[in-house]
């Protein structure tokens, strides 16, 4: 814990060694690499844990339709075997001292070092370093330093790419125990330090081509390596003797391509001809990270622990984002683990995208294009269920097919459709990217509005428009009618479609005509949408102050929280089965509160207070998506202590393993949620009517908060200190930036212009 840029682990957690691997994940959006030990050990540590965006195999669950997919554990490109005087270097108690694992978040590197004592007592110092290049998506680097401390030692190091890895589990939904699971890879070729594998479990599985360049600098100069033949592994072995206190240095570059890039082997061969060196690649990598941090970093004055935790969340979020490839999006565990099979859910749009939208809008654009690419599947899904337009999959792999098992509720959890529309609209307002709207956004909005139009049922008896049989963000509600979140968001979705239509007609009439023809849009459709949106039932209690999660929430039995939530485990894992939940007033995770955070301009403070006071005590937080919305809402309501407590639940969720399953990957929605807690909560940021709003609600422990925001092409630097907010226009956009800070309207147009409120 040396500084607020470094996450450290010391001493070695022998008993739960893999438990913290996810925290030390490195990645560049193309590849994610858990912080596993490189050197071969005795158990499941050899499984590695490297994932590549879009590399899926056939999973074990029974998909709604089609074939269930899971993110594939790809070859361990950092595989090492180290022997000293014929003895394997194994990380065992009493053999290891001075153990330290560090994640340098500023530079994007991971390091590990320890002193190992052989069975005859001689000590050896080992130092590892690795990175996955942020400057070149297809490269990674690894370094090893070995120093005998007590006398000369005979060193044997084999460095390779190991394709004999398996998934981390047989059961895809259980975090523990990690044990060798399905094997997806078939090795097709292995020579000259290059290996080509194929995901054999899918009919046209991706091919992966990987190659290594290893250099070993012994005490007397370069050591020549020899290829080691071993099935499914491309490796080179170095054997030499190293005197006391002399250091041998191995450096290795890895190149990787897949058939998703083109001819993977050809690309690999070309790349390996370039002749890169470790140090210059690492420098380029560090420069790339410095540039990323410049825009994304948030500085907290007065709370170094919070500062470090916050940076950890942002760092991991940035690392996994597949900004380069709109054929994929960001899974629930990113590229840091196998839970949820690498699939994309609603939380991508609602929890992760805001960070990118306001700091790196191109990343959002790419992930929204993924949703546009999967429109055909969403249309098919709607049609299969007798609806119109596009019904996005609740759980989507790379092809957009619904991967939730039948019966598990995908049919009900349709708010995802509106969540995508919301994120799209949020991106459009925050960037003014009309081109995106014209090319992709309008089509999504029209098709999702159509879906709602067919899914909304007009009840001729009650004379209301209803959305029946849904599951809101509160997944313990099993099925309800008129979930407030779903209905409000569906209404927004329709409004956004109508708004997009106006824009299109005005700015892109020809494109709009083409789209209308292609979608066979009837001129009467928009009016029908408008009627539905207007008529949609939004349930409130009789006095009108309390928005009701669904039309029966108040009429269910009160839940005995003391009996139901007795420990850290989820209620359904401990005390009461899922089926029983529909009987009770119990909220698994924020539902109305999340909705209010998304549309804050629609609610009075009184309504927000009422919702918080009513739902917060009924919420069991059995999801990682629950803390951040509570932090945001509490902050906006000025409940500083509660807001700070919820912020800490978010910020430390993975570091402290609050949900007991970080071993299976980081909680990406919560990473984004941590940003939301700080920026949308403590800094009170939201946009409405092309005005960016800010309102400081800093925790008492924080002296100041500094961050940057991208807004409609401009870059704004914000500093909050107590109740004061200073904003500087660091880079102007095409139009002046309009802000509302604590009720004061501010207009900034010149570079460097500042305002304080």
Task: Please give the residue ranges that form the binding site for a copy of itself (CB under 8 A).
Answer: 64, 385-386, 406-407, 409-412, 457, 459, 461-462, 466, 468-469, 478-479, 481, 552, 554-557, 560, 563, 576-580, 582-583
Give the three-state DSSP class for 497: helix
**Cβ atoms < 10 Å from Cβ of 57:** 25
Q: Which is nearer to a copy of itself, 383 or 534 (CB)?
A: 383
Q: Which is nearer to a copy of itself, 462 or 524 (CB)?
A: 462
Which residue do the tokens 């509490």 mark?
Answer: 634
Q: How far is the CB of 623 from a copy of itself (least distance, A)?
A: 18
Helices within 335-479 (DSSP H only) = 346-347, 353-359, 361-373, 375-384, 415-431, 434-436, 442-455
Q: Which is nearer to a copy of itself, 513 or 569 (CB)?
A: 569
Q: Which is nearer to a copy of itself, 65 or 717 (CB)?
A: 65
Q: Which is nearer to a copy of itself, 277 or 573 (CB)?
A: 573
DSSP strand pairing (557-558 vs 584-585): parallel
Q: Give Cα separations from 371 to 188, 377, 595 (angstroms).
A: 33, 10, 22
Q: How far is the CB of 414 from a copy of itself (least distance, A)?
A: 11
Q: Which is nearer to a copy of itself, 583 or 688 (CB)?
A: 583
DSSP 483-494: -HHHHHHHHHHH
Q: How far is the CB of 578 from a copy of itself (least distance, A)?
A: 6
Give CA–CA dist 424/644, Å, rounded: 30
Q: How far is the CB of 520 from a copy of itself (least distance, A)?
A: 21
Residue (of 635, 648, 641, 640) closest to 605 by Cα position: 635
Give CA–CA dist 154/455, Å, rounded: 72
Number of residues that make up the chain: 757
Q: Give Cα separations from 638 to 154, 306, 609 (angstroms).
A: 65, 20, 10
Residue (of 601, 634, 578, 701) closest to 307 by Cα position: 701
**Looking at the DSSP assignment, which residues form a beta bridge with residue 694?**
741
Q: Which is nearer to a copy of itself, 266 or 406 (CB)?
A: 406
Q: Which is nearer to a copy of itself, 121 or 460 (CB)?
A: 460
Q: Which is nearer to a copy of itself, 563 or 641 (CB)?
A: 563
Residue (of 275, 197, 321, 256) closest to 77 by Cα position: 256
Q: How far is the CB of 382 from a copy of itself (least distance, A)?
A: 12
Give CA–CA dist 389/230, Å, rounded: 53
Q: Which is nearer to a copy of itself, 478 or 511 (CB)?
A: 478
Q: How far is the CB of 407 from a copy of itself (least distance, A)?
A: 6
Q: Which is nearer to a copy of itself, 545 or 736 (CB)?
A: 545
Q: How far is the CB of 12 from a copy of itself (least distance, A)?
A: 38
**Cβ atoms < 10 Å from Cβ of 557:** 9
Q: How far is the CB of 594 from a copy of itself (least distance, A)?
A: 23
Terminal CA-CA length for the chain? 36
Q: Which is nearer to a copy of itself, 462 or 518 (CB)?
A: 462
Q: How far is the CB of 464 from a copy of itself (least distance, A)?
A: 9
Give CA–CA dist 20/72, Å, rounded: 20
Q: How far is the CB of 67 from a copy of itself (least distance, A)?
A: 17
Structure tokens at 353: 């995208």
Q: How far is the CB of 453 from a copy of itself (least distance, A)?
A: 13
Written in H, E and C, the secondary structure of 257-304 is EECCCCCHHHHHHHHHCCCCCHHHHHHHHHHHHHHHHHHHCEEEECCH
Give CA–CA dist 427/361, Å, rounded: 7
Cα Rg of the chain (Å, integer): 27
**Cβ atoms < 10 Å from Cβ of 642:** 17
Q: How far is the CB of 547 from a copy of itself (least distance, A)?
A: 16
Q: Which is nearer to a copy of itself, 99 or 578 (CB)?
A: 578
Give the three-state DSSP class for 362: helix
Residue (of 709, 723, 722) closest to 675 by Cα position: 709
Q: How far is the CB of 475 from a copy of itself (least distance, A)?
A: 13
Residue (of 241, 237, 240) closest to 226 by Cα position: 237
Q: How far is the CB of 384 from a copy of itself (least distance, A)?
A: 8
Exposed, middle or buried: residue 221 (CB in 10 Å: 0-12, 13-18, 19+)? exposed
Q: Which is nearer to a copy of itself, 192 or 384 (CB)?
A: 384
Q: Which is nearer to a copy of itself, 506 or 563 (CB)?
A: 563
Q: How far is the CB of 610 from a copy of itself (least distance, A)?
A: 16
Residue (of 387, 438, 437) closest to 417 by Cα position: 387
Helices within 570-667 (DSSP H only) = 571-574, 592-598, 605-615, 627-636, 640-651
Q: Which is nearer to a copy of itself, 198 or 450 (CB)?
A: 450
Q: How far is the CB of 541 from a copy of itself (least distance, A)?
A: 9
Residue (of 95, 72, 273, 42) closest to 163 by Cα position: 72
């Amino acid at each position: 814990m040396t500084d607020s840029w470094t996450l450290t682990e010391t001493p070695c957690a022998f008993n739960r060694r893999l438990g913290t691997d996810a925290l030390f994940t490195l990645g560049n959006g193309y590849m994610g690499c858990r912080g596993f030990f490189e050197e071969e050990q005795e158990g499941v540590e050899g499984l590695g844990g490297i994932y590549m965006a879009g590399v899926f195999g056939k999973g074990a669950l029974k998909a709604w339709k089609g074939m269930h997919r899971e993110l594939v554990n790809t070859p361990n490109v950092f595989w090492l075997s180290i022997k000293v005087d014929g003895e394997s270097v194994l990380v065992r108690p009493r053999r290891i001292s001075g153990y330290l694992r560090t994640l340098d978040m500023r530079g994007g590197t991971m390091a590990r070092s320890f002193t190992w004592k052989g069975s005859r007592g001689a000590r050896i110092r080992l130092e590892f370093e690795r990175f996955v290049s942020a400057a070149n998506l297809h490269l990674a680097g690894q370094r090893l330093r070995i120093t005998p401390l007590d006398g000369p030692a005979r060193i044997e190091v084999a460095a390779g790419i190991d394709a004999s890895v398996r998934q981390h589990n047989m059961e895809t939904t259980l975090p523990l125990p990690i044990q060798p699971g399905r094997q997806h890879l078939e090795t097709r070729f292995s020579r000259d330090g290059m290996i080509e594998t194929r995901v054999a479990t899918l009919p046209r599985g991706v091919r992966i081509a990987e190659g290594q360049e290893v250099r070993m600098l012994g005490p007397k100069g370069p050591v020549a390596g020899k290829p080691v033949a071993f099935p499914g592994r491309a490796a080179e072995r170095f054997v030499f003797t190293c005197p006391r206190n002399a250091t041998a240095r191995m450096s290795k570059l890895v190149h990787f391509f897949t058939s998703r890039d083109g001819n993977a082997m050809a690309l690999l061969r070309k790349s390996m001809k370039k002749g890169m060196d470790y140090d210059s690649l690492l420098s380029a990598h560090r420069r790339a990270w410095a540039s990323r941090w410049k825009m994304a970093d948030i500085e907290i004055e007065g709370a170094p622990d919070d500062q470090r935790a916050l940076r950890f969340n942002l760092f991991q979020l940035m690392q996994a984002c597949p900004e380069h490839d709109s054929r994929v999006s960001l899974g629930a565990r990113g590229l840091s683990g196998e839970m949820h099979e690498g699939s994309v859910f609603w939380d991508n749009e609602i929890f992760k995208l805001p960070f990118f939208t306001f700091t790196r809008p191109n990343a959002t654009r790419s992930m929204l294009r993924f949703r546009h690419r999967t429109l055909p599947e969403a249309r098919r899904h709607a049609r299969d269920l007798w609806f119109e337009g596009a019904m996005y999959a609740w759980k989507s792999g790379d092809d957009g097919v619904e991967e939730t098992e039948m019966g598990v509720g995908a049919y009900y959890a349709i708010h995802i459709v509106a969540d995508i529309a919301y994120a799209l609209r949020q991106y459009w307002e925050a960037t003014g990217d009309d081109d995106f709207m014209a090319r992709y956004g309008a089509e999504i909005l029209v098709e999702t509005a159509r879906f709602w139009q067919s899914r909304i049922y007009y009840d001729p008896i009650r004379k209301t428009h209803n959305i029946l049989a849904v599951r809101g963000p509160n997944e313990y509600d099993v099925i309800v009618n008129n979930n407030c979140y779903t209905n409000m968001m569906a209404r927004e979705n329709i409004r956004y479609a109508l708004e997009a239509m106006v824009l299109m007609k005005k700015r892109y009439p020809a494109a709009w005509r083409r789209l209308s023809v292609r979608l066979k849009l009837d001129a009467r459709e928009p009016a029908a949408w408008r009627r539905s949106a207007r008529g949609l039932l939004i349930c409130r209690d009789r006095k009108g102050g309390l928005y009701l999660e669904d039309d029966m929430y108040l009429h269910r039995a009160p839940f005995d929280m003391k009996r139901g939530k007795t420990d850290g485990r989820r209620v359904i894992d401990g005390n009461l089965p899922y089926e029983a939940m529909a009987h009770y007033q119990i909220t698994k995770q924020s539902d109305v509160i999340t909705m209010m955070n998304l549309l804050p301009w629609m609610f009075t403070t009184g309504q927000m207070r009422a919702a918080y006071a009513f739902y917060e005590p009924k919420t069991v937080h059995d999801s990682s998506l629950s803390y951040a919305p509570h932090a945001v809402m509490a902050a906006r309501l000025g409940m500083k202590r509660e807001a700070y407590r919820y912020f800490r639940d978010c910020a430390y969720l993975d570091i402290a393993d609050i949900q007991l399953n970080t071993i299976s990957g980081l909680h990406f929605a919560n990473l984004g949620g941590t940003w939301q807690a700080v920026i949308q909560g403590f800094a009170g940021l939201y946009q409405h009517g092309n005005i960016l709003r800010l309102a400081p609600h800093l925790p008492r422990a924080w002296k100041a908060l500094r961050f940057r925001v991208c807004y409609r092409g401009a870059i704004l630097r914000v500093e909050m200190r107590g109740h004061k907010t200073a904003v500087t226009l660091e880079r102007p956009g095409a139009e002046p930036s309009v802000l509302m800070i604590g009720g004061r309207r501010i207009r900034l147009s010149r570079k460097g212009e500042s305002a304080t409120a």
